[in-house]
Amino acid sequence: MSRRSAPTLIVLGLDGKSAAKSNSESHSMNILLVGAGLSGAVIGRKLAEAGHSITIVDSRDHIAGNCHTKRDAQTGVMVHIYGPHIFHTDDEEVWDYVNSFETFMPYKNRVKTTSGGQVFSLPINLHTINQFYNRTMRPDEARDFIEGRADTSIAEPQNFEEQAMRFVGSDLYEAFFKGYTIKQWGVSPTELPAAILKRLPVRFNYDDNYFFHRFQGMPKNGYTEMVARILDHPAVTVHLNTRFTRDMAGEYDYVFYSGPLDGYFDYELGRLGYRTLDFERFTYEGDYQGCAVMNYGEEAVPFTRITEHKHFSPWERHDASVCYREFSRACEPDDIPYYPIRQVKEKALLAEYVALAKQTSGVTFVGRLGTYRYLDMDVTIREALDTADVFLTTGTDLPAFATSPL
């Protein structure tokens, strides 16, 4: 089988030695993975361990996809280049998996938000409620109080705004959710699904942990180091700065594609809508905001949040600080797609692409872009492990999607 040469070839042996392909086993297949993010790395590793020969291409100049971390040259701080990433999961097998490749340091995500000239704690908890209403309520009092402010006439919330009104009422909705959501999604919250808000809990105690999950942590040396270790297998070769084109597929026995679903088909049916992010970097001598993530609830403030990256590594010491202001806007063709919009129009187009994909043989679409879904890292890893497992049973009869995007 012939192999195309790539502009840049890196072989990720952590020992720096070049890797040899293991083609010795008769059932060994040559498999191409598009994307060196978590999806590509996890599937590639598992199939390599099963004796297959793995080639991974990524159009970027680094591995780890959107989880990529890099030390800031000026401050030495580990930066989450594509936005803040906190690992959290209830899936013990996935937690064990990531811990087998990297040391995870204890980390709890505690988010603050600025609104109306004050700083509050998120997700909305008893401290937020008491501070906002200048009260000293106990949990059951606060529950009754909020229920009294909620719009109980809404039986089945049909959209984000109705969900918030039913959940917490107009005061808290306007202060913390309305402006932020308009900035984040670029549309009225009445046009967004209620499910987006369901990701955020309301707590009637002082627990300000942003996540519910049993396991939470931060990779000691960053996500990119973790992904490098996942990729560190003699049967895995990674080509960076290499954009996938469909003619490459013919050179392999099977393809796993974690790039954008519509991109695979050269956008022939149109483009699936995404939000993209712009980051405005600035540095500060000392501690800029005292926490990793500060949201800004008001629409008048043009950015959604500021991330101060050194607070993601509380076990490190840095005098200087690097922060990113985060702005959200509609994704244009040359931008990085971040958040799939998944409204009615997008879902209709998605259904067309799914139908097209199902007529295509020899490729399975995976990951957040390949299935056009918002996926946390733990879910991405779980799906990647399961997809590889199914492939090891079915071989090339694997369907176009191991998990339905619809």
Grouping H, G, I as helix, E, B as strand and the rest as coil, residue 124 is coil
Which sign, positive or negative, has the C-alpha torsion 343, 347, 349, 350?
A: positive
Q: Give the interface segment with ligand UDP, choosing from 177-185, 260-268, 307-315, 394-402 (CB under 6 A).
A: 177-185
d(CA 40, CA 56): 7
Residue from 326, 353, 373, 378 carrying the catalytic annotation: 326
Which residue in 45, 203, 342, 368 is the catalytic one?
203
Q: Is 181 in the site for ligand UDP (CB under 6 A)?
A: yes
Q: 63 and 41 in contact (C-beta within 8 Å)? A: yes
HEC secondary structure over 291-350: CCEEEECCCCCCCCEEEEHHHHCCCCCCCEEEEEEEEEEECCCCCCCCEECCCHHHHHHH
- Answer for which of 12, 19, 32, 67 binds ligand FAD (CB under 6 A) is 67
For the question of residue 374 being annotated catalytic, the response is yes
**Contact call for residue 264 and ligand UDP (CB under 6 A):** no
Residue 199 is a binding residue for ligand UDP (CB under 6 A)? yes
Nearer to ligand UDP, 137 or 200 (CB): 200
* Single residue of 12, 19, 33, 34 touching ligand FAD by CB under 6 A: 34
- Residue positions counted in the chain: 406
Residue 37 binding ligand FAD, by CB under 6 A: yes
Residue 152 in tokens: 């109980």
When asked if residue 66 is in the footprint of ligand UDP (CB under 6 A), the reply is no
Choose which of 376, 385, 389, 390 interacts with ligand FAD (CB under 6 A): 376
Cα–Cα distance between 362 and 398 in angstroms, integer? 8
- Which one of 55, 66, 75, 184 is in contact with ligand FAD (CB under 6 A)? 66
Gap between the Cα atoms of 365 and 253, Å rounded:
15
Angle 84-90-93 from CA coordinates, rounded to 5°: 105
Closer to ligand UDP by CB, 22 or 170: give it: 170
- Among 45, 166, 305, 342, the one annotated catalytic: 305
Kindly state the number of chain residues that form the binding site for ligand FAD, as judged by CB under 6 A. Answer: 35
Q: Count Cβ atoms below 10 Å from residue 159 Cβ, excluding itself.
A: 18
Three-state secondary-structure class, residue 118? strand
Residue 337's binding partner among ligand FAD, ligand UDP, none (Cβ under 5 to 8 angstroms by kind) is none
Choose which of 33, 54, 86, 227 interacts with ligand FAD (CB under 6 A): 86
Unique residue bearing structure tokens 């200048």 = 134
Find tokens 């043009």 and name the residue. 302
Annotated catalytic sites, by residue? 199, 203, 275, 305, 326, 374, 376
Residues that bind ligand FAD (CB under 6 A): 34-40, 57-60, 65-67, 83-87, 243-244, 258-260, 263, 338-339, 367-369, 375-378, 380
Q: Contact positions toward ligand UDP, by CB under 6 A?
A: 113, 122, 176-177, 180-181, 184, 196-197, 199-200, 295, 297
